[in-house]
């Protein structure tokens, strides 16, 4: 026992002696008997907390794991918060889940705890995409909602995304209030697990129809789609929820030639055909790329398990399929939307787009050229949603997104939406094909016009308690001893979002940053490179976002210029010791 810290042992004993089910207790006792102290420490050394994406963790028994009791405590805490916030109202919430193992079980627990607290629950009877939950909250007048998902994480994970009345994830100060209420659920005995079935209403196809109809009404270039309706599209839901709505959305937009990746169509929480169900990973698109080559596709689309993120592949000028990263797809989407809106005479000067501080700054340039406001938020789509709610009815949101493959077009939801994004990426492909161009050509033209921006994300994984301490030490080192040069260029400014201060390195002058406090550091160099360091709020990782830029003189210089920028990124990462 000497290898377990007293606080961890105390937590373990609470679970062994408390009102937990026999199977859970047996599992914990077995780990004790086997002296699995590392696993026990990781399972019990803390309580799971709401990060940038809510609760997320490995499934299993323990206070730092996703299980019936941590899900129950989160829902009880959220119920207490809602009842205090809306004391004299009939509170309604929506609950949905993705294809992960146990997601349906955890969703049912969530709905039951809400119902036991006298809260009316709209419960999606089958798996559905995350953005549809956000849509349902807004459409049905709910005060909150919960999505059971761990997005693109490995199969061992699950999670709990909590939403506010605007259909966006909770932001400050509400997120802190919810966390305080969850923390106040100090005992399993405080969780109301006995459902009131009359408080649970099942949702099905009727909300799908409403959502799809409203998405279709957003289309900007229906004439181009009519002429290019047989565009060859390959789509994979990577064993997730996208299969329920993405093919339908593409058909509603007018596309008739959609090929599904049959091996990945069936929802399956074991994700049997991929290592990670993440459209950012080339490996996850292996089968989609094979199918694309087979039918000579114009566009390959793949969505993650909860269908809020989408990855794409297109042919380059040599006829080879290449994957676009999140910055490339997001930049192209914004460029297309602003081009199409301008051609239709829809830009009035009251429109805006939103991105995050770690997303390509070519988007800022594109917006500036069209006199459209571009706002930058902290990382996490909840901040984009927060801004949209602030401007609702005052300005028109065209679109926005973040480098991690999450985009949104239109104001129907307050989260990233791969359903509407997939439809618009297909529309964008048709728009350029109608002009005798391709998405790859459109990318090169965008680089020629606005500058060749290249971004790379480097993630360093540090697992468990010791990993969390290592990540903290890395951030302290960068904060206290920032590098003088990166990639051969002098660091001219340091933005510390934790302290909310921007420092001019040469003069020492400081100015306040407007965005909320967040553990992010940004180094800005003389030649315009921007390097951001940020610990993940949902995974045991520290992430480095590197953005470099130059000019692209001619399309034929693309490969050589791209290679030069790659070298620069590597040089910067070496300077950071990553």
Catalytic positions = 151
How is 208-232 classified by DSSP, letter by letter?
HHHHHHHHHTT-S-HHHHHHTTT--
Please name the residue that has the structure tokens 């099942």. 202
Query: In 3D, which of 319, 300, 303 has the Cα closest to residue 259?
Result: 300
Q: Cβ distance 281 to 245 under 8 Å?
A: no
Q: Cβ distance 385 to 53 under 8 Å?
A: no
**Please, how many CA atoms are within 13 Å of residue 135, restricted to the half-sphere of its CB?**
27
Q: How would you classify the pairing of strands 396-402 and 521-525?
A: unpaired
DSSP 315: E
Residue 477: count other Cβ atoms within 10 Å of its Cβ. 11
Residue 107: count other Cβ atoms within 10 Å of its Cβ. 23
Query: In 3D, which of 222, 186, 192, 201 has the Cα closest to residue 47?
Result: 186
Q: Report the C-alpha gap between 415 and 63 in whole angstroms.
A: 28
Residue 140: count other Cβ atoms within 10 Å of its Cβ. 17
Residue 530: count other Cβ atoms within 10 Å of its Cβ. 22
Q: Which backbone phi and psi does 269 adopt, to 5 degrees?
A: -70, -10
3-state secondary structure of 561: helix
Buried/exposed code over 228-253 (b: 16+ C-beta within 10 A; e: otherwise):
beebbbbbbbbbbbbbbbbbbbbebb
Q: Report the C-alpha gap between 280 and 276 in whole angstroms.
A: 9
Q: Cβ distance 79 to 113 under 8 Å?
A: yes
Q: Report the C-alpha gap between 325 and 330 in whole angstroms.
A: 9
326-343 helix and 439-450 helix, angle to the nearest 10 degrees: 80
Q: Report the C-alpha gap between 245 and 97 in whole angstroms.
A: 14
Q: Where are the alpha helices (DSSP H) in 344-397?
A: 362-369, 381-391
Q: How many residues does the chain have?
A: 578
What is the token pair recorded at 48?
């799971």
Ramachandran class of 464: left when φ > 0, alpha when ψ lies in -120 to 50, beta otherwise: left
């Amino acid at each position: 026992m000497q290898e377990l810290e007293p606080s961890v042992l105390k937590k373990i004993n609470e679970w062994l002696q408390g009102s937990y089910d026999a199977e859970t207790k047996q599992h914990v006792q077995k780990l004790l008997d086997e002296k699995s102290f590392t696993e026990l420490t990781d399972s019990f050394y803390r309580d799971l907390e709401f990060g940038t994406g809510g609760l997320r963790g490995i499934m299993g028994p323990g206070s730092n794991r996703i299980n019936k009791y941590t899900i129950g405590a989160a829902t009880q805490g959220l119920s207490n918060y809602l009842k205090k916030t809306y004391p004299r109202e009939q509170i309604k919430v929506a609950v949905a889940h993705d294809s992960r193992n146990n997601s349906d079980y955890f969703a049912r627990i969530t709905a039951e705890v809400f119902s036991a607290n006298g809260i009316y629950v709209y419960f999606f009877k089958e798996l559905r995409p995350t953005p549809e939950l956000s849509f349902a909250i807004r459409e049905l007048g709910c005060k909150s909602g919960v999505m059971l998902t761990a997005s693109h994480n490995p199969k061992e994970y699950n999670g709990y995304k909590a939403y506010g009345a605007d259909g966006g994830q909770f932001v400050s100060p509400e997120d802190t209030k919810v966390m305080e209420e969850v923390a106040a659920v100090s005992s399993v005995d405080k969780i109301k697990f006995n459902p009131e079935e009359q408080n649970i209403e099942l949702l099905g196809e009727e909300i799908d129809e409403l959502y799809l109809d409203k998405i279709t009404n957003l289309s900007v270039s229906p004439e181009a789609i009519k002429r290019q309706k047989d565009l060859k599209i390959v789509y994979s839901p990577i064993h997730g929820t996208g299969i329920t709505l993405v093919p339908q959305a593409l058909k509603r937009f007018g596309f008739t030639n959609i090929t599904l990746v049959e091996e990945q169509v069936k929802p399956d929480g074991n994700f049997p055909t991929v290592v990670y169900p993440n459209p950012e990973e080339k490996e996850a698109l292996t089968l989609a790329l094979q199918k694309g080559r087979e039918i000579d596709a114009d566009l390959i689309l793949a969505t993650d398990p909860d269908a809020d993120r989408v990855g794409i592949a297109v042919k380059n000028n040599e006829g080879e399929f290449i994957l676009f990263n999140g910055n490339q797809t997001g930049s192209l989407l914004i460029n297309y939307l602003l081009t199409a809106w301008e051609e239709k005479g829809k830009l009035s000067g009251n429109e805006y787009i939103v991105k995050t501080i770690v997303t390509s700054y070519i988007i800022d340039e594109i917006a500036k050229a069209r006199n459209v406001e571009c706002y930058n938020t902290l990382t996490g789509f909840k901040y984009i949603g927060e801004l949209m709610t602030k401007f609702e009815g005052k300005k028109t949101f065209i679109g926005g997104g973040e480098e991690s493959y999450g985009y949104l077009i239109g104001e129907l939801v307050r989260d990233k939406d791969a359903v509407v994004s997939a439809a618009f990426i297909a529309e964008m492909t048709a728009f350029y094909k109608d002009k005798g161009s391709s998405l790859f050509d459109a990318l090169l033209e965008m680089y020629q016009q606005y500058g060749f921006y290249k971004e790379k994300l480097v993630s360093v994984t540090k697992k468990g308690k010791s990993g969390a301490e290592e990540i903290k030490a890395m951030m302290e080192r960068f904060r206290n001893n920032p590098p003088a040069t990166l990639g051969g260029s002098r660091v001219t400014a340091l933005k510390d979002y934790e302290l909310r201060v921007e420092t001019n390195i040469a003069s020492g002058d400081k100015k306040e940053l407007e965005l909320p406090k967040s553990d992010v550091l940004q180094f800005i160099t003389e030649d315009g490179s921007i390097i951001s360091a940020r610990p993940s709020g949902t995974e045991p990782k520290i992430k480095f976002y590197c953005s470099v830029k130059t000019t692209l003189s001619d399309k034929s210089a693309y490969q050589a210029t791209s290679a030069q920028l790659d070298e620069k990124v590597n040089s910067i990462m070496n300077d950071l010791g990553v």
